[in-house]
Structure 1
Amino acid sequence: MERGAATGDESETRHVDSDGDTERRITHDEVVRFTSELIRFDTTNRGGGEGRERPAAEYVAELLTEAGLRPRLLESAPGRANVLARISGADPSAPALLVHGHLDVVPADPALWRVHPFSGEVHDGVLWGRGAIDMKNAVAMVVALVRSWSRTGRRPRRDIVVAFTADEEDSAAYGAGWLVREHPDLFAGCTEGIGESGGVTFHTETASGAPVRLYPIGAGERGTAWLRLTAKGTAGHGSKVNDDNAVSALAAAVARVADHRWPVRLTAVTRAAITEIASAVGVDPGLDAAGFDPDRHLDTALERLGEAASLVRPTVRNSANPTMLNAGYKVNVIPETAEAGVDGRVLPGGADEFRATLDTLTGDRVTWEYSHHSVPLSAPVDSPTFAAMRSALLTHEPDAHVVPYCMSGGTDAKQFSQLGVTGYGFVPLRLPPSLDYQALFHGVDERVPIDALRFGVGVLDRFLTTVE
């Protein structure tokens, strides 16, 4: 119930407020409405500086202002807007906590969707649209929760800095990267942060077929290493023999990169993930067995995890996937230059090995450089903050298993790590087995159950008001 709202029966009001039904209903309604309305803002990020988050940022800033906060709307370039606000905690001596999410989304072709990707439609208990999972849902959950605190007078223990950013779906140059460089003072006191990609139901089963619900929390990220490969050669006529063909040199290098089998490197987070997932599904992965050789035996160990192996398989190695080719302008002309793009990802501690391997694979004829580079991350899984996230999830889902994992991709946590902020992936959602969460990221028909949003608000409330 809104503070100060008129009522004809004060005793009845106290009864309703005591069990929280009215406030819970308001918050649940708001999180659905805010997610839907945010989706209707087309904040598509096409890369290369092309994007416009400002209308969504203004909407969020207005909602936070109504909650009694004083948000700052910071524009890094025309239309590229970020929103920040600080919520005072009950313990001024405690370190601050960063809660961040991004306002931009990847492109969506309406012709491929069952509903328009920017409609924010709700039907059959499901909310549809680009950003329903990645990650306007999280922005809406945080805003709805902050407004609930304002209505009820509740406060988190720690100061909380909320940051809703531009440009996460590209390089973060107009969003978190710019904020870290130009406005570091706004994050004063923040030692830890939570962002996307964690705390979502993963359905699997034991070896005997019993259902198991995992909730992986992001405690690491592979670093981003987007590469530009360049080959130089001698231009000439396509009908003549040419032993200095840039296209041929580049193609050979790209094939070597694509075919390379990277060695297994088990980080502390991934080892913990394998161990805890194995315990949850009732198997022994054999990591501590005598003679265990990761390069020879890990694939067998992961097979014992069943479907849950997909949570860790992408993060046991560095990777480099060719994704782009650019050469020539006419079929009968051998070009002087050929270029390729490679999406590289690097494990914590794996940067030197990655660079040395790329030097070898590209050879003498091809040079390479970073077109975008960000560091890998690792966060402790035995911290009080991780324990508070685990507790918050188990309070709402007692029979579940909360496990750490390392993300195969990256988030804005990489940018905030430059300020000394330890990042976790934690946007809690309870999803049914029929919904493939991973396929919804950047996929067609992105959607989220309304019940999942309501679950997430409750878990976030528990975590943010109890974390020490």
Structure 2
Amino acid sequence: MRTDPGLLEEEAIELVRDLIRIESVNTGDPATIGDGEARAARYVAERLAEAGIDGEYVEPAPGRGNVVARLPGRDPSAPALVVHAHLDVVPASAADWSVPPFAARVLDDARHGEVLYGRGALDMKGFAGTVVAAVRALRRGRVQPRRDLVLAFVADEEAGGAHGAQWLVEHRPDLFAGATEAIGEVGGFSVPLPGDSARRAYLLATAEKGVGWGIMRARGAAGHPSRPTRDNPVGRIARAVAAIHDHEFPVRRTEATAAFLAALGLLSGRDLSGDGAELERELDRLGFVGDIARAGLRHTATPTVLSAGGRPNVIPGEAVAEIDTRILPGGEGEIEREVERLAGHGVAVEWRTMPPIAAPADGPLVDALRAAVAAEDPGGVVVPHLSPASTDNKHFARLGIAGYGFTPLRVPDGFDAFGLLHAADERVPLSALRFGARVTARILATA
């Protein structure tokens, strides 16, 4: 490509640091969110405008800023590709960090070289800044993408997208006209292959688990604990929580999981064809790569919130528990029925769900991602996998857009990028950002 890789890389780092310094914290509470998302969106719009790219600024609620821009491709008959990044971040308690979380400091690390610390470095201002740098580089080099690119920088992903991707899909679908595929989070980070230091797997999320939130309620007669009753709702909700906590759903190989295990087994020399304890033992030998695989094997149901009563000398009339469920593609409805069975008689469950999504594990876009990685890392292999997390790809799926999680970073072996999402001291090596900028520019030009 006719781009200056050095300028591209340094501009990507500068843009990412600027975005981190904009405190676009999404608390989930409109009273405490502020205008950080709006300031971040306007910053992105300004940087795009400098390159002659006009974006439309959309603010569904005060301070909740979104920017969407379209770059025309050289093949007008080709469907458009959506490239999206959210500009909000989860809260960060400075007391838990070794550096101020919004200072965007670069520190020297003995193992990983220069490392950028900051909330959003990985999730996902790192990719937002990289995309802006990449399209600016394409403009400088007069490189026109193969097909239309719809660049979407959105608010509110960390709280479900009601003022971001969800709102845009419901109220401004025209901005995504003609798009059939999308690239966003979570994926693209490299992971080491045990026993082969020359090769790495770059995980491509071709599917996402669905998300279900269940509120379990047990009701009974309030009273005095000196005269205990058998229908004490605290006991019933406690038994329900314990049953759900102890339950393990069976292994199910979805298309994405089967492709991941097959590729991982071939690359690592491990037999990952088994189920149950045999498969668990093999995954244990793969370290945190095995943990990533394990997260996509089963439905999960995790109790997260308990509430009942207010005084120790009062039997409450109601006890409540909340659970988080993650649903495999093709398993819609199953987990709800199983949780309700485990909860038992006298416990009602109310549900709010987002269904799972799945995109083809092969095709021209996947080929383009593989080629872009191979051009910058001959030892890199793009491997499909099932993401247990939920992203804005679920909202774009409502428009018939197949979503992929791929924000490319080549990280040092032993650097668990997935484990740093939402964590204290979130950080990314500058070498990984430079690599990501080069690969992203190739993807945007050729995908």
TM range (shorter): over 0.9
Does 2:60 align with 1:76? yes
Equivalent residue for 2:182? 193
2-structure distance, mates of 1:128, 1:65: 28
Contact 1:212 1:281 (8 Å CA) reproduced: no
**What's the offset of the Cα at 1:295?**
4.0
Name stretches of at least 5 consecutive residues in structure 2 with no aligned partner: 109-113
Is this contact kept in 1: 2:218–2:346, CA < 8 A? yes
Q: Which residue of the other structure, out of 335, 343, 346, is the alignment partner of 1:365?
A: 346
Match of 2:111 in 1: none
Matched, 1:325 2:306: yes
Asked if structure 2 preserves the Cα contact closer than 8 Å seen for 1:217 and 1:404, the reply is: yes
2:335 to 354, 361, 370: 354
1:360-395 CA distance string (max 9 Å, x none) = 01122111112x421111111121111111111111
Aligned mate of 1:397, from 359, 377, 384: 377
Displacement after TM superposition at 1:283 (Å): 2.7
Deviations along 1:347-370, one digit per CA (max 9) or x if unpaired, are 001112112101201122111112
Residue 60 (structure 2) pairs with residue 60 (structure 1)? no
CA distance in structure 2 between the partners assigned to 1:155 and 1:429 by the alignment? 24
Indicate conservation of the 8 Å contact 2:208/2:389, yes or no: yes
Q: Is the 8 A contact 1:274 1:312 kept in 2?
A: yes
Residue 272 of structure 1 pairs with residue 270 of structure 2? no
Secondary structure of 1:351 counterpart? coil
Distance 1:304 1:114, change over 3 A: closer
* Distance apart, 1:304 and its partner CA: 5.8
Q: Residue 244 of structure 1 aligns with which residue?
A: 231
Aligned CA distance change for structure 1 residues 147 and 210 (closer, same or farther; 3 Å): closer
Q: The residue matched to 1:239 in structure 2 has which SS? A: coil
Superposed, which structure 2 residues align to 1:380-419 within 5 Å? 380-419=360-399
Identify unmatched segments of 5+ residues in structure 1.
1-17
CA contact (8 A) 1:200 1:431 kept: yes
User: How far is 1:25 from its partner?
Assistant: 2.7
Structure 1-normalised TM-score? 0.90
Q: Does 1:259 align with 2:223?
A: no
Match for residue 163 of structure 2 among 170, 174, 177: 174
Q: What residue number does 1:34 align with?
A: 15
2:415 & 2:248 partners in 1: Cα distance?
A: 32
Separation of aligned partners in 2, 1:304 and 1:388: 32
Which is worse superposed, 300-309 or 139-148? Answer: 300-309
CA–CA distance in structure 1, aligned partners of residues 374 and 150 of structure 2: 25
Contact 1:31 1:140 in 2 (8 A): yes
Aligned-partner residue type, residue 264 of structure 1: V
Is this contact kept in 2: 1:283–1:304, CA < 8 A? no
The Cα shift of 1:439 comes to: 2.0
Establish whether residue 444 from structure 1 lines up as the match of residue 441 from structure 2. Answer: no
Cα distance in 1, alignment partners of residues 414 and 249 from structure 2 = 34
- In structure 2, how many angstroms separate the alpha carbons of the residues matched to 1:284 and 1:317? 19
Secondary structure, counterpart of 2:137 in structure 1: helix
**Distance (Å, rounded) in 2 between the aligned partners of 1:388 and 1:360:** 46
Which protein has the larger Cα radius of gyration, Structure 1 or Structure 2?
Answer: 1
Q: Give how far 1:172 is off.
A: 1.2
The aligned residue for residue 25 of structure 1 is: 6
SS at match of 1:262: coil
2:244 maps to a residue whose letter is V
Deviations 1:61-118 (A, max 9, x none): 1111111122111112111111111111111110000001101111111011111001
SS class of match (2:189): coil
Partner SS state of residue 315, structure 1: coil
The CA deviation at 1:299 is: 2.3
Relative to structure 1, is the Cα distance of residues 254 and 48 closer, same or farther in structure 2, using a 3 angstrom cutoff? farther
Deviations 1:140-194 (CA, angstroms, capped at 9, x unpaired) = 0000111112222211111010111111111111111111111111110110000
SS class of match (1:46): coil
CA distance in 2, matches of 1:307, 1:27: 32
Q: Number of residues paired by the alignment?
A: 439
Structure 1 position 399, deviation (Å): 1.4
* Structure 1 residue 95 corresponds to structure 2 residue 75: no
- In the superposition, the TM-score normalised over structure 2's length comes to 0.94
Note the alpha carbon deviations across 1:18-68, whole angstroms, 9 max, x for none. Answer: 975xx3332222111111111111111122445341111111111111111
How many Å separate the matches in 2 of 1:19 and 1:233? Answer: 71
Compute the displacement of 1:248 (Å): 1.3
Residue identity opposite 1:313 in structure 2: R
* Matched residue type, 2:67: V
Does the 8 A contact of 1:86 with 1:160 survive in 2?
Answer: yes
Secondary structure of the equivalent of 1:131? coil
Whether the aligned pair in 2 keeps the contact of 1:218 and 1:405 (CA below 8 Å) is yes
Identity among equivalent pairs (%): 45
Deviation at 1:211, TM superposition (A): 5.6
Distance 1:177 1:397 in 2: 35
